[in-house]
């Protein structure tokens, strides 16, 4: 979750003028409520899988460069990979029905809209293009939450298997970081239209060495990254954070529930009716989403589910919140587990 990246990240990276690694082809779609989303495709002959990013992020989280790339890793093993830029993120920053491509999408929606409209439009498009009756799903952080929202609102018939990386299913104040996050979201949600995290991320990469290393550890484990990877992450992944979604998160944090904006749906409770196979990966080293919160999402579903702890004796390296796809050893320690779960469907 790249929230206020300038204030949390470590600035020991080396500046880089290299262009982002580009391989996927891109399609822009209009959702049922008139927003614009972008889908990026790594084609392969196997079953389709949709990868969905987290808060203030974009599809580059799964497609950073040749060496940090869950998308191409899965495609090389036969999975037909599609990556989503949610409205207002990445290549979906501009656009919208009747407004043209140069109109900025920067606020006016909640976390509900990502699952109800954006994920729904993406899955319908993938089904139409591929002819596949079901689409597998991998979400990071908020991406796992909006996958659950989609399943609750639209049913699970179109879903194959699901994987959530560092995604919360609860917001208990017994977790130490929840109170601080609630305060920050409430203040930001009430005073800002949006947070320009892309500009802050680029500034962070240029002004290396400004903030203490300890602050970086809130988002990632610095021991899991080469300096050039941190630099690429700061420059390529951050997307604006809208006031409306900040307000929704602030409400969930305040109410200590994974709930809809209007409070009419307790998503964690509604997930009991879901039978889609769900794998959740969390870590004791994740200081954004606690192990408790990640396990809550795993245990919420009524069907087959499993939890993998990416820390301690289970893996050789402790994983922070951004490390599940970007850590230097993720392709060895986590990607095979993700791929094996998808194949079980």
Global pTM reads: 0.87
Confidence of residue 208 (pLDDT cuts 50, 70, 90): low
> What pLDDT was estimated at residue 266?
98
Share of the chain above pLDDT 90, in %: 64
Is residue 182 exposed (0-12), middle (13-18) or buried (19+ Cβ within 10 Å)?
buried
Provide the pLDDT for residue 23.
Answer: 59
Answer with the residue of higher pLDDT: 9 or 218: 218
Closest CA to 48 of 191, 158, 149, 148: 158
Rounded to whole angstroms, how far apart are CA atoms 113 and 35? 10
CATH code at 5-343: 3.40.50.1820
- Give 209-233 pLDDT, tens digit per residue: 444 556 677 889 999 999 899 888 8
Q: Which residue did the predictor score with more confidence, 343 or 16? A: 343
**Residues in the chain, how many?**
345
Burial of residue 139 (number of CB atoms within 10 Å: 0-12, 13-18, 19+): buried
Residue scoring higher pLDDT (182 or 218): 218
Confidence (pLDDT) at 125: 98
Q: What is the 8-class DSSP label of residue 259? A: B
Write down the pLDDT at residue 6.
33
pLDDT tens per residue across span 108-152:
899 999 999 999 999 999 999 999 999 999 999 999 999 999 999
Q: Above 50 in pLDDT, residue 205?
A: no
State which of 3-7, 88-92, 161-165 shows the largest mean pLDDT.
Answer: 161-165
At residue 248, the pLDDT reads 94
Show the beta-strand stretches assigned E in the chain: 25-30, 36-42, 48-52, 80-85, 135-140, 159-165, 194-195, 241-242, 278-282, 305-309
Task: Give residue 257's pLDDT.
Answer: 95
Q: How confident is the model at residue 86 (pLDDT cuts 50, 70, 90)?
A: very high
Which residue would you say has higher pLDDT here, 289 or 345?
289
Q: Would you say residue 190 has pLDDT above 50?
A: no
For 196, phi then psi, to 5°, come to: -80, 70
Report DSSP state, residue 29: E
* Lowest model confidence (mean pLDDT) among 8-22, 237-251, 294-308: 8-22
The chain-wide mean pLDDT, for the chain, equals 84
pLDDT tens digits for 292-341?
999 999 999 999 999 999 998 889 889 999 999 999 999 999 999 999 99
- Checking if the pLDDT of 18 tops 60, the result is no
Q: Which residue has the higher pLDDT, 216 or 169?
A: 169
CB of 237 closer than 8 Å to CB of 245: no
pLDDT of the residue at 85 = 97
Region 62-82 average pLDDT: 95
Domain ranges of the chain: 5-343
pLDDT, one tens digit per residue, over 101-118 is 678 887 889 999 999 999
More confident residue, 306 or 195: 306
């Amino acid at each position: 979750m790249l929230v206020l990246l300038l204030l949390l990240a470590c600035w020991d990276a080396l500046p880089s003028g290299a262009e982002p690694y580009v391989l996927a082809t891109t399609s822009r779609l209009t959702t049922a409520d008139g927003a614009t989303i972008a889908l990026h495709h790594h084609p392969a002959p196997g079953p389709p899988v949709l990868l969905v990013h987290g808060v203030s992020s974009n599809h580059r989280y799964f497609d950073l460069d040749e060496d940090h790339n869950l998308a191409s890793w899965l495609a090389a093993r036969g999975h037909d990979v599609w990556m989503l830029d949610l409205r207002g993120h990445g290549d979906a920053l501009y656009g919208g029905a009747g407004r043209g491509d140069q109109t900025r999408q920067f606020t006016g929606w909640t976390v509900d809209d990502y699952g109800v409209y954006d994920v729904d439009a993406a899955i319908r498009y993938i089904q139409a293009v591929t002819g596949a009756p079901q689409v597998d799903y991998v979400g990071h952080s908020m991406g796992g939450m909006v996958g659950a929202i989609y399943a609750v609102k639209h049913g699970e018939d179109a879903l194959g298997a699901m994987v959530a990386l560092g995604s919360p299913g609860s917001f208990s104040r017994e977790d130490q970081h929840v109170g601080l996050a609630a305060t920050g979201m409430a203040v930001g949600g009430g005073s800002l239209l949006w947070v320009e995290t892309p500009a802050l991320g680029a500034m962070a990469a240029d002004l290396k060495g400004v903030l203490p290393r300890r602050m970086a550890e809130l988002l990632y484990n610095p021991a899991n990254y080469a300096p050039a990877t941190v630099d690429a992450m700061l420059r390529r992944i951050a997307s604006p954070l809208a006031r409306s979604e900040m307000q929704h998160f602030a409400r969930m944090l305040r109410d200590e529930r994974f709930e809809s904006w209007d409070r009419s749906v307790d998503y964690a409770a509604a997930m009991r009716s879901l039978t889609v196979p769900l794998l959740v990966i969390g870590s004791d080293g994740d200081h954004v989403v606690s192990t408790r919160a990640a396990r809550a999402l795993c245990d919420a579903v009524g069907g087959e589910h499993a939890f993998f702890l990416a820390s301690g004796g289970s893996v050789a390296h402790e994983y922070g919140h951004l490390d599940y796809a970007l850590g230097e050893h993720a392709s060895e320690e986590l990607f095979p587990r993700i791929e094996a779960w998808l194949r079980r469907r």
